[in-house]
Amino acid sequence: MNHDQVREVDPAVADALEGEVDRQRESLQMIASENHVSEAVLDAQGSALTNKYAEGYPGERYYGGCEYADEVEQLAIDRAAELFGAEHINVQPHSGTQANQAVYFAMVEPGDKILSLDLTHGGHLSHGHPANFTGQLYEVEQYEVDPETGYLDYDGLADHAAEFEPDIIVSGYSAYPREIEWERIQTVANDVDALHLADIAHITGLVAAGVHPSPVGVADFVTGSTHKTIRSGRGGIVMTSDEYADDIDAAVFPGGQGGPLMHNIAGKAVGFKEALEPSFEDYAARTIANAKALGESLSENGFSLVSGGTDNHLVLVDLRDSHPDTTGGDAEEALEEAGIVLNGNTVPGETRSAFDPSGIRAGTPGLTTRGFDEDDCRTVGDLITRVVDSPDDEAVIEDVREEVAVLCEENPLYD
């Protein structure tokens, strides 16, 4: 993949773009929120639709010349409807955060109450963190996972909700390795007369493929990111029932955004078409099998996994038991040097800080896209172990980097 046209105009940017392709090819992308889209999705995202203003919705635009924009957006909506079965779908949010923003803007007023999972327990900034607009506009309290098991504490959530009486309960997480029981959270929301926003950002692809239970038809609102497990390019999506359709559409545009990113909506349409193929269900199932294999390998090598394992695409390692002197940041840095890219992450009961956390989070969506199987992922678990056991040993890092290169060659990307 070269960028000849960019190179003619701007060699500096072309160097960086080609450098990025090589970086993705030659190292293991294990950031759990990342993936590799197909060249068809890249092609759609690089299309002339980036030129088009299409404020409004298909058939009701504020600008002329929207016939192809209409076609593309309607295809994205129809395919999402087939994937998720939602009554109403808006594919315009620029990202998952903007999808959440639309739900809050439509349904709650400044000062209203949000109950969401604590960030250090796996939540997301857009669920009420003080640094995010949600933490500044709304009154936020947070629930937690059970510190013993690492699983969501549904009874604790029910007690907290009864006491706090939130207007909206947010579920769906950034670093939670277990299946989410949407109905149990919905029951809590019903009992306290709260709305329920299920944010499936990380697991949008797993839900689409049917390998994780769907909150569609359970929660009032379902938001997602389109660039994570569903592999459809950067963006967001909101799904709801007919009851809230007009409110959500108005909150996306003109409420929170201007012109839609039509080239990204084309990417979503193409990615969703790919996700409707039977091979995508297989991809999603292999992503989970690979995460389980990675988790088993790490456990066998002495690491503690939050909740003891995984049901989805990621594992969360608590380094405090096995490597008390190594922070998540230290591990992240040494692993990156060895060609394994993942992130330091907070863990439930965090005793350090978000900048210097006690865990690492590792996901298999990207590796699975480039063809890694369970044996490969067990090997990756061994490689991670060798580096984290000796983060300052240059010889170990060099050795592991060579083994990473072999795995990358066996599983080519964008060739």
CA 24/CA 405 separation, integer angstroms: 12
Restricting to residues 37-66, name those near ligand PLP by CB under 6 A: none
3-class SS of residue 179: coil
H or E segment to which residue 113 belongs:
strand 113-117
CA neighbor of 348 nearest in space, from 200, 181, 143, 154: 143
The residue within the footprint of ligand PLP, chosen from 28, 66, 92, 96 (CB under 6 A), is 96
CA 346/CA 120 separation, integer angstroms: 5
Q: Which is nearer to ligand PLP, 181 or 374 (CB)?
A: 181
The residue within the footprint of ligand PLP, chosen from 29, 101, 171, 225 (CB under 6 A), is 225
The residue within the footprint of ligand PLP, chosen from 24, 174, 379, 385 (CB under 6 A), is 174
Minimum CB–partner distance for residue 34 and ligand PLP (Å): 10
Name the residue number minimizing CB distance to ligand PLP: 96
175: phi then psi, degrees, rounded to nearest 5:
-145, 50
End-to-end Cα separation, the chain, in angstroms: 7
Q: Which is nearer to ligand PLP, 186 or 229 (CB)?
A: 229
Q: Which is nearer to ligand PLP, 172 or 260 (CB)?
A: 172
Minimum CB–partner distance for residue 372 and ligand PLP (Å): 22
CA 265/CA 248 separation, integer angstroms: 17
SS (H, E, C) 191-235: HCCCEEEEECCCCHHHHHHCCCCCCECCECEEEEECCCCCCCCCC
Which one-letter DSSP state was computed for residue 110? T
Q: Which is nearer to ligand PLP, 174 or 343 (CB)?
A: 174
Q: Which is nearer to ligand PLP, 195 or 404 (CB)?
A: 195
Is 129 a binding residue for ligand PLP by CB under 6 A? The answer is no
Q: What does R_g of the chain's alpha carbons equal in angstroms? A: 21
146: phi then psi, degrees, rounded to nearest 5:
-65, 120
Is 124 a binding residue for ligand PLP by CB under 6 A? The answer is yes
Minimum CB–partner distance for residue 125 and ligand PLP (Å): 8
Is 95 a binding residue for ligand PLP by CB under 6 A? The answer is yes
Q: Which is nearer to ligand PLP, 203 or 397 (CB)?
A: 203
CA 375/CA 263 separation, integer angstroms: 38
Rounded-to-10 torsion of CA 386, 388, 393, 399: 40
The residue within the footprint of ligand PLP, chosen from 104, 105, 138, 173 (CB under 6 A), is 173
Restricting to residues 179-208, name those near ligand PLP by CB under 6 A: 199, 201-202
Distances (CA, A) of 345 to 114, 117, 179, 231, 369: 24, 15, 19, 23, 23
Is 34 a binding residue for ligand PLP by CB under 6 A? The answer is no
Minimum CB–partner distance for residue 114 and ligand PLP (Å): 13
The residue within the footprint of ligand PLP, chosen from 24, 33, 132, 312 (CB under 6 A), is 33
Residues in binding contact with ligand PLP, number by CB under 6 A:
14
Please name the residues in contact with 184: beta carbons below 8 A apart, sequence gap of 6 or more. Answer: 154
Q: Which is nearer to ligand PLP, 124 or 370 (CB)?
A: 124
Restricting to residues 133-172, name those near ligand PLP by CB under 6 A: 172
Residue numbers at the binding site for ligand PLP (CB under 6 A): 33, 95-97, 124, 126, 172-174, 199, 201-202, 225, 236
